[in-house]
Amino acid sequence: MLLRMSKEKPSRIEHLTTVYHGRVKFNDADPLGIVWHGNYLGYFEDGREYFGSKYGLTYLNIHEEMYSVPVVQSICNHIKPLKYGDKYSVKTIIIHTLAAKIIFHYEIYNQENELVCTGETTQVFLSKEGRLSLICPDFYESWKKQVGYDK
């Protein structure tokens, strides 16, 4: 169960889902050959990057609009270990919210299609001056309408 700080009840937008495929690299594993727990956040990042490329919401797009979107919260639930050489996939799902933030949910699966990890990240909008945006920037509202995420 993922904890949410907001009283708003976000809903999953399943049609905005991507799946990134990778293989566990040598430097991702500890001396026992098991993925170090902190590397799962990097896998989430891979999923976000892939999601952004597919739906036109990349960090470069956001930067061109004079914003940045730092991660302010991350949750990671480990279920089974991945090991060096394993193939894995990261399912990335954007969570609908009316707040000025981006919430992603992640599911990582191994090559046997077993769920090995779930997680969530929350990102906020900062202006180029570093000020927190309390309302969604215009470009993000336009993006939500374009992809049908504004419902």
Full residue range of the structural domain in which residue 89 is found? 11-147
Residue 83 lies in a domain: yes
Residue 6 lies in a domain: no
pLDDT in tens, 65-95: 999 999 999 999 999 999 999 999 999 999 9
Q: Please report, for the domain that includes residue 86, its CATH number.
A: 3.10.129.10
Q: What is the reported pTM?
A: 0.87
Number of domains in the chain: 1
Do 76 and 105 meet the contact criterion of CB atoms below 8 Å apart? Answer: no
Residue 126 lies in a domain: yes
- For 112, residues 6+ apart whose C-beta sits below 8 A from its C-beta are none
> What percentage of residues in the chain have a pLDDT greater than 90?
77
